Amino acid sequence: MNTDRVRVRFAPSPTGHLHLGNVRTALFNWLYARRHGGTFILRLEDTDAARSTQESVLSVLEDLRWMGLEWDEGPEAGGEFGPYRQTERYGLYTAHLNRLLEAGKAYPCFCSQEDLERGRAEARAAGRTYIYPGTCRHLTAEQREARRGEGIRPAVRLHVKPQTVSFTDVVRGPVSIHSQTFGDWILSRPDGSPTYNFAVVIDDALMAVTHVIRGEDHLSNTPKQVVLYEALGLPIPRFAHLSMILGPDGGKLSKRHGDVSLDAFRARGYLPEAMVNGLALLGWSDSEGQEILTREELVQRFDLERINKSAAVFDEGKLRHLNAAHLKAYSDEQVEAMIRPHLVQAGRLPAGPLAPEVQSWAVSLAGLLRQRIDLLTEAVPASDPVFLFDPATMDEAARAGLAEPDAVRVLRAFAEEAGRMDLSVPGAYRELVMGLKARLKVKGKALFHPIRLGVTAADSGPDLERLVPILASGSRLALPTPVLGPAERTRRVLALLE
């Protein structure tokens, strides 16, 4: 195979937000194209006028861009094989429909909905699957004219000869099915609109798609599509059907498992790199078993041969873990930019451009918070020890700590020194503590625990050597949620005891 010519496509129906299943399909196509220096096409299957919306189109484009899955041909990108929206391709469908009609490979069907429904009901009652019996297949030209004369607008069906339809799926291996399991299927409806199976074949053929990589839910459509390629005398692409994605309970991943739109994961603070990595592992695995993979590594290693045919189980815990791993690759400045929207929304940082001193403080804050989060949104609760301070809410254990023999002595001395020194200076906190240790002759937990209680009004929390300078410098800034400095905090804890 000339691998330079790999052409794959992602063909969503813009009827809502993309969910993890769609996005995985897009990703596998994109990875395959990039791996082989091929072309990744985006095609919008928007023939369902009632459910397709421009808003959904925009959200599909935005989601793909956020994931970094840029398309080489498609809406906005253009390309030689357009248009890339099915509603703009009706002329092409009609032309091919006419070719099939003229060649006697398709025929108009005048059966009414009632006739078809009666047939379906009979089949149901007899426990059979309904197959169109071919009623209109052999109407004469006069009979067809007569029906048209009655004002009946026909559907068009493909004339499918009884045969075994076979193809080899890249993931599932050989597939064979008898054409009588589906019969003469509909190419276009009485209103002239193409069916999915018809439009998709015309589009994939005219867009010179070499590999159709899509969800397993389309596997049963593929034999119908294969007979149409044959009827049109067009080359058949290779097919790769991706196994289902299951939720942790073993059922198909769906709304039952919470919001599974990509949008929801972005809002929860996942990084695109983690989504790319996590979705790649849903059904594909690296030959060396590496789990944390960058986009570049995935492009180098991805291939269809390592796609698993058994269902993949989505595990959000694993995705969180990947997110934390990918977060490490960023500098504090980059993490600051990523968590800022969340802190602004929580009213902790001002909206709009930051003054230079606030900006550099926010970067140190990000350096502290990033140690304590997996997801970007978690930066808000992780920043509680910086922005919230209320000794009145101290729990029993913390209060008990204050009753320890040296606690009050340590706290008083700390408050006094902290009021005198500039604790925003690196190393100043350590110097202060060492001084107290020598002066008060208190060490270890008896020294550090009261200081922690004084500074945070809590038993545990961030490393004080990092937290104290942030509190000290933050207390000098005008922030929407003011930060109290370490001296003032300790004084308030002491006040509680008096």
Positions in 112-141 near ligand GLU (CB under 6 A):
none
For the chain, what percentages of helix, strand and coil (3-state, to nearest 5) are there? Answer: 50, 10, 35
11 is a contact residue toward ligand GLU (CB under 6 A): yes
Question: Does 474 help bind ligand GLU (rule: CB under 6 A)?
Answer: no
The reply to whether 15 sits near ligand GLU by the rule CB under 6 A is no
CB-based burial, 268-285: b 16+ in 10 Å, e otherwise: bbbbbbbbbbbbbbbbbb
Considering the rule CB under 6 A, would residue 12 count as an interface residue with ligand GLU? yes
Q: How many C-beta neighbours within 10 Å does residue 141 have?
A: 7
Q: Which of residues 155-214 bind ligand GLU (CB under 6 A)?
A: 200, 214
* Nearest-angstrom CA–CA distance, 265 and 377: 11
**Residues whose CB is less than 8 angstroms from the CB of residue 46 and which lie 6 or more positions away in sequence, other chains included:** 13, 14, 52, 57, 85, 86, 87
Q: Does residue 13 interact with ligand GLU by CB under 6 A?
A: yes
Near ligand GLU by CB under 6 A, which window of 11-19, 29-37, 56-64, 333-341?
A: 11-19
* Nearest distance from C-beta of residue 329 to ligand GLU, angstroms: 33
Is residue 31 classed exposed, middle or buried when 0-12, 13-18 and 19+ CB atoms within 10 A define those classes? buried
DSSP output for 113-145? HHHHHHHHHHHHHTT-------TTTT--HHHHH
What are the CA-CA distances from residue 185 to residues 105, 112, 161, 247, 284 (Å)? Answer: 12, 15, 11, 34, 34
Choose the stretch contacting ligand GLU; rule: CB under 6 A; options: 8-16, 252-260, 369-377, 480-488: 8-16
Task: Name which of 214 and 295 has its Cβ closer to ligand GLU.
Answer: 214
Q: How is residue 252 annotated by DSSP?
A: B
Note whether 223 binds ligand GLU by CB under 6 A: no
In the complex with ligand GLU, the residue whose CB is nearer, 21 or 450, is: 21
Q: How many residues bind ligand GLU (CB under 6 A)?
A: 7
Residues 423, 173: Cα–Cα separation, whole Å: 67
Tokens of 492: 């308030």
The smaller minimum CB distance to ligand GLU, of residues 243 and 490, is found at 243
Tokens at 373, concatenated = 């989060």
Q: Which of 54, 80, 64 is nearest to 11 (CA)?
A: 64
Has 255 been annotated as catalytic? yes
Residue from 161, 255, 309, 443 carrying the catalytic annotation: 255
Q: Which stretch binds ligand GLU (CB under 6 A): 10-18, 256-264, 355-363, 365-373?
A: 10-18
Q: Smaller CB distance to ligand GLU: residue 214 or 340?
A: 214
45/378 with CB nearer ligand GLU = 45
Is position 301 an interface residue for ligand GLU (rule: CB under 6 A)? no
Q: Which helix (H) or strand (E) holds 166?
A: strand 164-169
Closest distance of CB 351 from ligand GLU, Å: 38
Interface of this chain with ligand GLU, residues 41 to 60, rule: CB under 6 A: 45
Minimum CB–partner distance for residue 61 and ligand GLU (Å): 15
Write out the catalytic residue numbers. Answer: 255
Q: Which residues are at the interface with ligand GLU (CB under 6 A)? A: 11-13, 45, 200, 214, 218
